[in-house]
Structure 1
Amino acid sequence: MTQRVPITPSGLQTLRDELRNIKENLRPQNVADIETALGHGDLRENAEYHAAKERQAELAARQAYLESRISLAQVIDPEETSSDRVAFGATVTLADADTEEEVVYRLVGEDESDVKAGKISISAPIARALLGKEEGDDVTVHLPKGDREFEILKVEYMRIP
Structure 2
Amino acid sequence: MSKVSYYTAEGLKKLREELKQLKDIERVKASKAIAEARDKGDLSENAEYDAAKEAQGMLEMRISKLEDQLAGARVIDESQMDTSKILVLSKVKIKNQTNGMEMLYTLVADGEADLASGKISVNSPIGKGLLGKSVGDVAEIQVPSGIMKFDIIEISR
User: Same fold per TM (> 0.5)?
Assistant: yes
Map of 2:109 onto structure 1: 109
Map of 2:36 onto structure 1: 36
Give the letter for the 1:75 counterpart: V
* Alpha-carbon contact 2:139-2:151 (below 8 Å) kept: yes
What is the CA deviation profile of residues 87-129 of structure 1, one whole-angstrom value per residue up to 9, with x for unaligned ones? 0111111111111111111111111112222211111111111
What is the CA deviation profile of residues 52-103 of structure 1, one whole-angstrom value per residue up to 9, with x for unaligned ones? 1111111111111111111111111446534111001111111111111111
Map of 1:147 onto structure 2: 147
Map of 2:100 onto structure 1: 100
Q: Tell me how far apart the structure 1 counterparts of residues 19 and 2 of structure 2 sit (CA, whole Å).
A: 21
Cα 1:79–1:42 shift into 2, 3 Å: farther
Q: Secondary structure at the match of 1:85?
A: coil
Task: Report the CA distance between 1:38 and its aligned residue.
Answer: 0.8
Map of 2:64 onto structure 1: 64
Map of 2:47 onto structure 1: 47
Task: Report the CA distance between 1:44 and its aligned residue.
Answer: 1.9
Give the letter for the 2:155 counterpart: V
> Is 1:121–2:121 an aligned residue pair?
yes
* Alpha-carbon contact 2:107-2:121 (below 8 Å) kept: yes
- TM-score by structure 1 length? 0.90
What count of residue pairs does the alignment treat as equivalent? 157
Root-mean-square deviation over aligned CA pairs: 1.6
Map of 1:7 onto structure 2: 7
Give the letter for the 2:42 counterpart: D
* Alpha-carbon contact 2:2-2:68 (below 8 Å) kept: no
Q: Tell me how far apart the structure 1 counterparts of residues 85 and 121 of structure 2 sit (CA, whole Å).
A: 17
* Alpha-carbon contact 1:9-1:77 (below 8 Å) kept: no
Q: Which is further off, 99-108 or 75-84?
A: 75-84
Give the letter for the 1:12 counterpart: L
Q: Which runs of 5+ in 2 are unaligned?
A: none
Map of 2:135 onto structure 1: 135
Give the letter for the 1:32 counterpart: K
Q: Which runs of 5+ in 1 are unaligned?
A: none
Q: Tell me how far apart the structure 1 counterparts of residues 15 and 82 of structure 2 sit (CA, whole Å).
A: 26
